[in-house]
Amino acid sequence: MAETAIAVCRRFSDLPFGQIHYREAGIPGGRPLVLLHGSPGSAAQLVPLIATLAEHRHVIAPDTPGFGDSAPHPLNAPSIADFADTLVQWLDEMGLADVDLYGFHTGACIAAETAIARPDLVHRIVLDGVGLYANGERDRLLAHYAHPFESDQHGAYLIRAFHFLRDQSLFWPWFDRTRSARRDGGLMPADRLHGWLIELLKAAGTYHLGYRAAFRWDAMARLPLLRHAMMIVAAADDPLADDSMTIGDRLAVAAWLRLPRSDDPAYQNDRAEHILKFLNISASGYKNL
């Protein structure tokens, strides 16, 4: 797919607890494709994918409550089911009654839980990177991975937020700065890191709620409840790639695909092409990608 100049527009819609910010592109008509971002950014990180998919589909990508420019979630400690409930409210407010869902990391958990809660609203699902956390690992992540960045008069919180993002490129998990935890991709480009930091700082006091909900979500208990055509994908360098492959192998309904590394020039187009292929092929053939 060649690069395009597709316009990605920014809009707001109202829910009882506040406004939801979303990005929209493509020509309305046909089944909308709703994209759900991961933590700790916003739909801003999905703009290249939005623009590419919008050549073929009507694409809508909300900022999850408490992320980007959306209002915080009304609950103090929302679960993935709570985030899914607010997504359903937003879909109803938008008049979207039949959608395809794509979710990345935390967004994948929310997409799946939404389809479980309201199967009538969802046609097909693409989950991009899904984690499996044993109890010990889950406890360690909950204890150390994500906490609010409280502002101070010295700006130290800005450095902490920057290092939190920078080190995610270098280690998994980011706080385990040991040789065994090193990732091999190196630092992300400075402009991408800057954009990601800006989105994180918008949600400095609430971003951690998405992480904590995702760490607590039990993928192997919840995903078998889905009755939708589902594809699971992950970039080869995604720290959740092995977990995603395990889930794909265990669930008979899931098509599993390992994409190129996210720093591979082919990654963006390959991901978009496989998403579109999966969403367009017949129900009887979706396992044979």
Residue 285 has pLDDT above 80, yes or no: no
**pTM score, whole prediction:** 0.95
Integer-rounded Cα Rg, in Å, for the chain is 18
Residue 71 has pLDDT above 70, yes or no: yes
Q: Tokens 């992320």 correspond to what residue?
A: 67
- The candidate with the shortest Cα–Cα distance to 19, out of 89, 96, 118, is 89
Confidence of residue 1 (pLDDT cuts 50, 70, 90): very low
Put the strands of the sheet holding 99-104 in their side by side order: 9-15, 18-25, 59-62, 33-36, 99-104, 122-128, 229-235, 254-259
Confidence of residue 2 (pLDDT cuts 50, 70, 90): very low
Q: What is the pLDDT of residues 6-63, one digit of tens each?
A: 899 999 999 999 999 999 999 888 899 999 999 999 999 999 999 999 999 999 999 9
pLDDT value of residue 286: 53
pLDDT (average), residues 80-90: 98
pLDDT value of residue 281: 78
Residue ranges of alpha helices (H) inside 203-240 are 207-216, 219-222
Please give the biggest Cα pair distance in the chain: 60
Run of H or E residues at 268:
helix 267-280
Q: Are 244 and 24 in contact (CB under 8 A)?
A: no
pLDDT value of residue 3: 47
pLDDT value of residue 68: 97
pLDDT value of residue 6: 85
Q: CA 100 to CA 116: how far, in whole Å?
A: 14
Average pLDDT score over the chain = 93
Q: Are 188 and 169 in contact (CB under 8 A)?
A: yes
pLDDT value of residue 170: 95
Q: CA 163 to CA 139: how far, in whole Å?
A: 22
Domains of the chain: 9-134+211-285 (3.40.50.1820)
DSSP 89: H
Residue 222 has pLDDT above 70, yes or no: yes
Q: Give the SS3 label for residue 175.
A: coil
* Strand-strand pairing, 254-259 and 229-235: parallel
Q: What is the pLDDT of residues 152-184, one digit of tens each?
A: 999 999 999 999 999 999 999 999 999 999 999
Confidence of residue 200 (pLDDT cuts 50, 70, 90): very high
Torsion of CA 189, 193, 194, 198, to 10 degrees: 160
Q: Tokens 């979500």 correspond to what residue?
A: 217
